[in-house]
Amino acid sequence: MTNRTGSYRRVAVAGGVGTFIEVYDLLIYGYLATVLAAQFFPSGDPASALLATFAVFAAGAFVRPLGSVLFGHLGDRFGRRFALTFALLLMTAATVAFGLLPNYAAVGLLAPVLVVLCRVVQALSASAELPGAMLLMLEHAPAGRRGLTAAIANVASVLATAAAATVSLVLARTLTPVQLADWGWRVAFLAAAPIGLVGLYVRTRLLDSPAFVALGELARAGRTPLVQALTTAKLGMIVLAVWFAAQTIGGFTLSVAMPAYLIRTGLSPADAYTANLAGVLTSAVFAVLGGYLVDRFPLRRMAIVVMAGVAVTAVPGFLIITEHRSLTGAVLGQALCSIFLGPAYSVGAVLAMTWFPTGIRFTAFAVPLGTATAVFGATAPFVSTWLTTVTRSPLAPGWYLFVAATAATVAVVIGTGRLGQRSFPGSLPRSSDGINSA
């Protein structure tokens, strides 16, 4: 028992560290969007330059479905550890390369081309990290601690967002605007080098989950996880795609787009980063609370409450931000939106554990998440900025999140009702009450 507990804790820490590194590398781009816009997409109109910056962010993420299929196959065929280590190596290399890129003034149109290339590699590797790390941790977790374990990975993601916000805040407060634009932004990206080495060291010492090892070579040989997943688990994948569409719209809007949004409403960069840091820390707190509750209440009920809560708080959160136009208002508005967004990813991960068998679980989880992230999440900063510009309503991002979360609530009500009646060989039962309990 002691050895098993120690192994579980080591995997939880290792999975959390890897997720932290991946998300930090990914989101620092969003936090420095206003600086990067001037460096790589110069324009007489700041709004147009910002739109171009977020368009590149979205374009890179369109490879996520491809990455989900690729890494899902690797994770289901060769092991979670192999897929995660390879993904982290790609992410770290691309992020460090980004920190060394010449700007538009130095090489002209080649600069944005190189930005797109780095973003594509980052997004490709990110398609494996969150689902892979979450599954590795959950497959090691005791049955009664899966919600809390999912929260660990979620908290690691939120804390990485907080770290990116902190780095951006420190740079904004200690450097002049000229210094930040000249070389300061590079520091944030190059910091991924030592962090990435630590992550790779930890990842190479991970053990694959007992559930995966138990499949054996013969069970894994010759399989095509994607075909098998689409054949046997299509409904669950569709419901997860709708769920993660709403979750990633909220997550990317609050983490990536929010600093630029706050700056456009009149806050200083330092205040915008401070408010965003407070928001993501609030999300971490409620992620842990949500994980605790997932282990103690019927999963279907928790899923409905969480996503309905995201819908209900979306517009009021943005209303608080826009009405006050202050640091206090920004903190309170983001905190309100984060109450239910915090546990949303954890709930989705536990749904995947319940619905999908071990042999296709990586693919069946990663493909809906990667597709939803590409189509809805990664485009959310662009769409939110565009909606705000076109409608001239600062509440537009809140309404966008409201519509997405409402659709996800309906999907989870219908989907969990049907999927609760099914049993996939190799899936992990959550508890005796089942997912269909209300």
- The string of DSSP codes covering 356-372 is S-HHHHHHHHHHHHHHH
Residue type, 368: P
Are 97 and 196 in contact, with CB atoms under 8 Å apart?
no
Those residues with Cβ within 8 angstroms of residue 190's Cβ, 6 or more apart along the chain or in another chain: 96, 99, 100
How many angstroms separate the CA atoms of 9 and 375, rounded? 35
The predicted structure's pLDDT at residue 187: 93
How many angstroms separate the CA atoms of 318 and 337, rounded? 8
How many angstroms separate the CA atoms of 243 and 327, rounded? 31
User: pLDDT tens per residue, the chain (438 residues)?
Assistant: 455 555 666 777 777 777 787 778 777 877 787 788 888 877 666 766 777 777 776 677 788 899 999 999 999 988 888 998 898 888 888 889 999 999 888 988 888 888 888 888 888 888 888 888 888 888 888 777 888 888 877 778 777 877 887 888 888 889 998 899 899 999 998 988 887 888 888 888 877 878 888 876 655 655 688 999 998 889 999 999 999 999 999 988 987 788 888 888 888 888 888 888 888 788 888 888 988 898 888 889 999 999 999 999 999 999 999 888 889 999 999 999 999 998 898 898 888 888 888 889 999 999 999 999 889 988 898 898 889 889 989 899 999 999 999 999 999 999 887 776 444 444 555 443 444 444
- Supply φ then ψ for residue 101, to 5 degrees: -65, 140
The predicted structure's pLDDT at residue 221: 58
The predicted structure's pLDDT at residue 438: 43
The highest-level CATH class for domain 2-419 is mainly alpha
Those residues with Cβ within 8 angstroms of residue 132's Cβ, 6 or more apart along the chain or in another chain: 71, 75, 80, 83, 84, 87, 362, 366
How many angstroms separate the CA atoms of 326 and 386, rounded? 23
How many angstroms separate the CA atoms of 224 and 307, rounded? 33
> Residue 296 CA to chain centroid, in angstroms?
25
The predicted structure's pLDDT at residue 433: 40
How many angstroms separate the CA atoms of 20 and 336, rounded? 24
The predicted structure's pLDDT at residue 337: 92
Single pTM value for the model: 0.82
Q: In this structure, what token pair is assigned to residue 130?
A: 């969150």
The predicted structure's pLDDT at residue 309: 97
The predicted structure's pLDDT at residue 302: 93
How many angstroms separate the CA atoms of 149 and 139, rounded? 10
Which residue ranges make up each domain of the chain?
2-419
How many angstroms separate the CA atoms of 136 and 305, rounded? 26
The predicted structure's pLDDT at residue 219: 55
